[in-house]
Amino acid sequence: MTELSVRELPLFPLPEVVLFPKEVLPLHIFESRYRIMLQSVLESDSRFGIVRLDTNSKKMAEVGCCAQIIKHQTSEDGRSNIVTIGQQRFRVLDITREAPFCTALISWIDDEPIFDQDSLLKLSDSVLEALRDVVSLSGKLTDSEVSLPDELPDMPRELSFWIAAHLGGPAADEQQRLLEMQNTSKRLEREFEMLDHTRRQLAARTALKDTFSNADQRNN
């Protein structure tokens, strides 16, 4: 089914939350306005927009991700637990309603076509290698079992979204930038920079740890 390029969509602003396509996001709905929104959404196509709310500026991001409800359960007091999955990204064009919940006119966005697929696949492989190194070094440094999922996305665009969604630490600013990018190669290049920087830091810390460990063994 072809999506209309512009449509009206209910919006759910969430503090420092950035949703990416194909990522699962569970939510607890308790505010009255969002209970009303949920009821309205379930009566239509079960879709609404997740947009990051900046806790400092109190501003809503201009680019968000459509969420599709795949499971919902409502308790007797009216609160609901829902499970959503990220769909298409969108750009907010105009806020059309503020109450009882926010709705906006949005346009769907996607990555630009890339014609040099060979270079894109090589870049994707480099990013995946850096990711595996970071996970391996993290496990070695913390003496713990750290592993990646058995089935990572094998398409470059989907891999770039997966990595962006799983950035560690307070990463909402960076995640929002990655969400807004409409070039798969540029998104992967930025992720490689971050992963390679982390890999170098972890390698240095691991080498230092090994040095101290070997020194302790000799002294004992």
What is the structure's pLDDT at 111?
Answer: 96
Q: What is the fold of 6-109?
A: 2.30.130
Q: What is the pLDDT of residues 38-90, one digit of tens each?
A: 999 999 999 999 999 988 888 999 999 999 999 999 998 889 999 999 999 99
pLDDT band at 2 (very low <50, low <70, confident <90, very high): very low
Reported pTM: 0.89
Residues 151-188 as b or e (16 or more Cβ within 10 Å = b): eebeebbbbbbbbbbebeeebbebbbebbbbeebbebb
Q: How far is CA 138 from the centre of its chain?
A: 21
Side-chain half-sphere CA neighbours of 5 within 13 A = 1
AA identity, residue 199: R
Q: What is the pLDDT of residues 17-42, one digit of tens each?
A: 999 999 999 999 999 999 999 999 99
Domain chopping of the chain, boundaries: 6-109, 117-219
CATH class name, domain 117-219? mainly alpha
pLDDT band at 216 (very low <50, low <70, confident <90, very high): low
What is the structure's pLDDT at 1?
Answer: 37
